[in-house]
Amino acid sequence: MNAIISASELAAELAGGDPPVLLDVRWQLSTAAAAGEPPFDGRAAYRDGHLPGAVFIDLDRELAAAPAGRGRHPLPDPEEFGAAMRRAGVSAGTPVVVYDGGMGWAAARAWWLLRWTGHPDVRVLDGGLPSWDGPLETAQPEPAEGDFVPAWGAAGLLDADGAAALARSGVLLDARAGERYRGEVEPIDPVGGHIPGAVSAPTTENVGPDGRFLPAGELATRFRELGASTDKQVGVYCGSGVSGAHEVLALAVAGIPADLYVGSWSEWSSDPERPVAVGPDPQ
């Protein structure tokens, strides 16, 4: 099953007899709060217009728990996550399509969580809302309660120790911007740099100017040049487990399975005992 869906394919499925559940996960990484400015309001953007039938999902409240030393976006409480998905109409036997405002990071976080907890059919709208040229609506739907019960597990998930080990034994990709990887700038976390042994692989290079993913073959070539392939265990981290999920999605499009270190750099850098590498060299 493909992990992404085009706008034209989605329009056809919505017009068919088995339409997918639509989740709107508009969110932006914002440093506005540090400057005393109001952060991006995804719910307000949703109210202004969304895909017909889509239900808004709050990334910070429903796809993550409150920060408590485990990074800025730790895993959500299993019961709360399951309840949020069921309120949105998500059932185990119904396909789900997730979209956001175009970057794909937030949608990928929802995709990863649903897939990781056992949903068999989840896709991300390639290019997000900007790719959609159909009608929008402002009414808030009231879907029937779904039956999805997330199955929490360990497979596909890395903690700090696991990420450190994978950087030595396999391939650990750092999905943040190159300047953050090199430690030249760090706008959010207390320390700049990267996990020793991790390879710089900015997730922004997985998409074209329109925000859509590069073709699968091009992605496979990119990741192969970075050392990632189906022959090795691959892991990904970012700042807080959001853009890293987008890189896991890009790897899935390329046919390469990968694990996610959800705590990511926000968790790693909060512990002064953990080593930090700087500069372009992984070590």
Which spans in 36-154 are helix H? Answer: 42-48, 59-62, 78-87, 105-116
Which residue is listed with tokens 């989605």?
Answer: 10
| Cα(25)–Cα(98) distance, integer angstroms | 7
Q: Is 232 a catalytic residue?
A: no
| Cα(215)–Cα(164) distance, integer angstroms | 31
In 3-state terms, what secondary structure has residue 245?
helix
| Cα(272)–Cα(167) distance, integer angstroms | 19
| Cα(197)–Cα(121) distance, integer angstroms | 34
Nearest to 262 by CA among 81, 89, 88: 81
* Residue of 238, 250, 251, 252 marked catalytic: 238
User: How many residues are present in the chain?
Assistant: 283
DSSP designation for 250: H
* Residue 223 near residue 160 (C-beta atoms within 8 A): no
Tell me the one-letter amino acid at 172. Answer: L
For residue 190, give both structure tokens: 């207390």
How buried is residue 261: exposed, middle or buried, by Cβ count under 10 Å (0-12/13-18/19+)?
A: buried
Residues with catalytic roles = 238
